[in-house]
A and B are shown apart, each in its own frame.
Chain A
Amino acid sequence: MTVTAQKGAPRRVRTPVTGAASAAVRPVLEAPRRPARVLAVFPAGAYLEVRTELEPSVIAVITGTATRLPNALLLPGPLPRLTVGDEAVVGDGAVELGPLSMRVRRWWDPAPHTGRVDPVRLERALPALAPDGGEGLAGNGNIELLTRACRTGWLLGVLTAAEQLVGLGPGLTPSGDDVLAGLLVTLRHIGKSAGVGQAVRVGDWLGATVTYDARTRTTPISATLLHCAAQGAASPEVCGVLRAVAGRTPLEPALSRLRRLGHTSGSDLAQGIAIGLEAVLGMAGRGGLSGEAA
């Protein structure tokens, strides 16, 4: 229970603040204290990398209207002034960062709940999800391979394409990762609610493959988000589109909210969702995994 484990971290009295967090970060937050450091700072948030084997190993500390990422801890007030490299401590129920000691008073569920869904509805949603030109990897051969392989349930094709896509593209969350994250969440949730077990199993394989060495193949934040997606956790914008796809809410507004995220992130995630829907539709009614290209 002593704080001295962090060499050089000055002992200080921190102001207690409370907020809300995605339930996905609960295991990391409630594990014993671990050192962490600030990876990146934004006007409405910062990423903390925690020295832990658990996932999510990157926690987004956010405020205001910042996207409620599935690895986020949300504060009601403004964040302190932070610099990349600042030290922090995460664990025993708290995040200690700068002058603040943050605790969680509310947990939100980062998984979409779509209810049972009829494949006919999914078919109807597909046209709206067609690429809008904002995707970072438009025309990339591996995206095409991934789409084709998903449609036919060709597992090797899916995994081969995914291997090439992890970490592909510029930025903190490369486009390839965003597409895969959208695909993973869709396979898991829509596959389950449409009763297409094969899609869920493909999702499991895909999740295991892309998370296996994600920490060495892409940025830390993107690796964490891939882990979250493999567990079925996503931002409210992604969940909103999946609920809309299932016919619970109007699709167009949900989709435009998603596409507004980041530079290409929103459109890349939407592309991943579209590939996932094609996969679920393609696998609906067919039995086991296919070992070869159709």
Chain B
Amino acid sequence: MNELVTLRRGIYHDSVSLMRVSKALSDLPGVEVAIVAMATTLNVGLARDLGFEVPACEPSDLLVAVRADDPAAAADELDRLLDALSRQSAAQAADLPPRTTRAAARSVPAGLALVSVPGEHAFAEALDALEAGLNVMIFSDGVSLEQEVRLKALARAAGLLVMGPDCGTAVIAGAGLGFANVLKPGPVGVVAASGTGAQHVTCLLDRAGVGITHVLGVGGRDLSAEVGGLATIQALRMLDADPATELIVLISKPPDPSASATVQAVVAELSTPVVQAMLGATDLTSATAEALRVLGRAVPEWPSWEPDSGGRAAGGRLLGLFSGGTLCQEARLVAGHGDFTDFGDDAYTRGRAHPMIDPSLRLEALDKAEEGDTVLMDVVLGHGADPDPAATLAPAIAAAPARVVVCLVGTEGDPQGLGDQVSALTRAGAWVFTSNADAARFAGGGAR
């Protein structure tokens, strides 16, 4: 094995794009490990942990560290990939693209800014948006609580909405922002402190033939004592004023008591009925059923599929390998036992892409499961997610000695196509459920 460590000046690409490049390099034959990342303290630390000797550098440098049989070949491929990235960004805006959200907002009227720069820099872009009178969705995590409060207070004063920080999912009039599904238009509006929670509820509604107006994410900390539900309240009022929204579903983690009291007081004032999905108090499937009942719609049987040929026997441990934090928490509660890991948690996403994009950590964990174990996992489809999760998952499932139960969150309209994913997964021997609670109940029975 040979090593190659280089620093390149004057090149910048966003972390998600670079992670895709890293992954493409790592997948080359003869490459043991490849890191292509901006030389931030974190990334340099990661490279050093992997045994690379990294010279002194600035965070604005591009760090390349490769261990491979033939690092020069990998470097050639890297040049090709980076060149493709640069050409892509050059083509996007041939002449002088705006360099800040502020400049973009001055160049042309817009309604929303979607900020996904590294968290420590997100404040400036979000502030630009608010000062330009735009609503903002902050996909980035790692924004300080103090900055979150300041942004949301400014937004409230200006009648604007700040979705996030760490807001992964929103849908505005059908437009999916971040991780979101292709949903039909309909009467339900969603306010959610949990992105995957919102995806699960809206996909079940879609399955029941009920469409949605908007999904407004508020970020996981909105209902903390410090933030006090500022965005939740703003989002509830916006949906209440929206004539297309006939029912609001409010999805939250267990909130701070004082924030909860403020939000409940607002809920009581609204003229639109609100169904609340408070995790811990209910599960997402039950909350969806409740929403359907309020709309006067029948609650269907949530579809599930057996493996094409004899699923494996259970009886051993129950292992939950999740990409969505809320789904993980819910499944643990419903199953009542087992060993659950949320691979979307910060501890697992430092320096690598979210498991909804990069499945490698979960595949490793699946590989370690033993005969008799039950592995429960979520697979989330939609915009922004892995374009074909079953392509990597199905072979791993087929090879695993454990029984695999999948909660598949998605719609038929999603780019990946729910039906195609179901076929691939059941062919590989997995049990597939559309309801996470159903999946957890099934997986929990028969496993210890």
A interface residues (Cβ-Cβ under 8 A, vs B): 18, 20, 23, 26, 103-109, 113-115, 193, 243, 246, 248
Given A20-B174, A23-B184, A26-B184, A107:B244 Cβ within 8 A: no
Please choose the segment from B2-10, B117-125, B175-183, B231-239 that sits at the chain A interface, where 4 or more of its residues have CB less than 8 A away.
B175-183
Q: Report A-chain residues with C-beta under 8 Å of the C-beta of B312.
A: none
- A-B contact sample (7 more), CB < 8 A, given A23-B185, A105-B182: A104-B413, A106-B175, A106-B176, A108-B174, A109-B173, A109-B213, A114-B243
CA of A105 to CA of B185, assembled, Å: 13
Is the beta-carbon distance between B415 and A107 smaller than 8 angstroms?
A: no
**What are 11 A-B interface contacts by the 8 Å CB criterion?**
A23-B211, A104-B182, A105-B415, A107-B183, A109-B173, A109-B174, A113-B242, A113-B244, A115-B243, A243-B243, A248-B243
A20, B413: Cα distance in complex, Å: 12
Give B134 Cβ to nearest chain A Cβ, in Å: 19
Contacts of A108 in B (CB 8 A): 173-174, 185
The residue on B at minimum CB distance from A116 is: B243
B404-426 near A? 1/0 per residue, CB < 8 Å: 00000000010100000000000
Tell me the nearest residue of chain A to B241, going by C-beta.
A115
| Residues of chain A with a CB closer than 8 A to B182's CB | 104-107
Contact of B244 among A20, A103, A106, A109 (CB under 8 A): A109
Name the B residues within 8 Å of A113 (CB-CB).
242-244
**In the complex, what residue of chain B is closest to A115 when comparing beta carbons?**
B243
Q: Is the CB of A107 within 8 A of B184?
A: yes
User: B413 to A107, Cβ gap below 8 A?
Assistant: yes
For residue B337, which residues in chain A have a CB less than 8 angstroms away from its CB? none
- For the complex formed, measure the closest distance between the CB of B227 and the CB atoms of chain A, giving whole angstroms: 30
Query: Looking across the interface, which residue of chain A has its beta carbon closest to that of B183?
Result: A107
Nearest CB in chain A to that of B173: its residue: A108
Q: How far is the CA of A107 from the CA of B184 in the complex (A)?
A: 6
Q: Name which residue of chain A comes closest to B186, CB basis.
A: A109
Per a CB cutoff under 8 Å, which of A18, A103, A109, A243 touches B185?
A109
Residues of B within 8 A of A104 (CB): 182, 413
Closest chain-A Cβ to B406's Cβ sits at a distance in Å of: 23
B243 near A107: Cβ-Cβ < 8 Å: no
B102 contacts chain A at the CB level, 8 A cutoff: no
Question: B243 — which chain A residues lie within 8 A by C-beta?
Answer: 113-115, 193, 243, 246, 248
Give CA–CA (A23, B174) in the complex, Å.
10
Query: How far, in angstroms, from A23 to B383 measured CA to CA in the complex?
Result: 18
In the assembly, what is the distance between CA of A103 and CA of B175, in Å? 15
Q: Per-residue CB proximity of B237-257 to A under 8 Å, as 1/0?
A: 000001110000000000000
Residues of A within 8 A of B183 (CB): 107
**A61, B244: Cα distance in complex, Å:** 26
* Residues of chain B lying within 8 A (CB to CB) of residue A246: 243
